[in-house]
Amino acid sequence: MITVDNLPKFVIDPIEDYIGKGTDGTVFRIEDDLVVKIPWDLEFWERIRAEPSEDNKSMENYAMKRICNEIRITRNLRYDGIPVPRPFGLFSLDIEHRGDSYERIPGYIMEFIDGKRLHELRGSRDYKKAKALYERELEKIEALGRFIPGVCEVSDLNCFWLPKKKSVVLFDFMRWEDKE
């Protein structure tokens, strides 16, 4: 099992704010072209570290499992030609956020996608086109027969529209599963 202590260390410049926060993760932009996704949020990791109980240990293991899962799924989708952010891997982050320091935080580093989430386009001219492209990718994924998409994650909240390229990028696979 991968634990945070056997990950390569990555020291991040102080960050003021995240660019995205959902139910499963917090995403920070760390370079022009890179973001990092932390399972849940920094406060979760602070609590886990403050009290090394059995419950917290198993929560930590669960979080590691989910983020490793997201990376594996992303790599497999990319290999099969589905547009996803380029994954770089999992690191142990040292991070300063709003003046507070956090250490040994697992973070998944991936390509920054400069797009709009599909749901932000609802009602606009591009929406139909973007939605159709998203659905086409979902059909391709189904035809591959290798993935079980996360029920709540297949949504126009988890797909970017790139207006210049007129294409889509799918993201957020923490709860997807492999079929085998």
Ligand X SMILES: Nc1ncnc2c1ncn2[C@@H]1O[C@H](COP(=O)(O)OP(=O)(O)OP(=O)(O)O)[C@@H](O)[C@H]1O
Q: Which residues bind ligand X (CB under 6 A)?
A: 19-20, 22-25, 27, 35, 37, 85, 110-113, 117, 153, 157-158, 171-172, 174
The structure tokens listed for 111 are 């390509």
> Residue of minimal CB distance from ligand X?
20
Report in angstroms how near the CB of residue 75 gets to Mg ion at its nearest: 18
Evaluated on CA atoms 5, 92, 76, 128, the torsion sign reads positive
Q: Which is nearer to ligand X, 23 or 61 (CB)?
A: 23
Size of the site for Mg ion (CB under 5 A): 3
Q: Is residue 22 at the binding interface for Mg ion, with CB under 5 A as the rule? A: yes
Distance of CA 88 to the CA centre of its chain: 12
From residue 65 to residue 104, the character string flagging contacts with Mg ion as x (rule: CB under 5 A) and all else as - is ----------------------------------------
| Cβ–Cβ under 8 Å, residues 178 and 148 | yes
| Cβ–Cβ under 8 Å, residues 110 and 87 | yes
Q: 91 Cβ partners below 8 Å, 6+ apart? A: 7, 8, 9, 10, 36, 106, 107, 108, 109
Site for Mg ion in 109-168 (CB under 5 A): 158
Report in angstroms how near the CB of residue 84 gets to ligand X at its nearest: 9
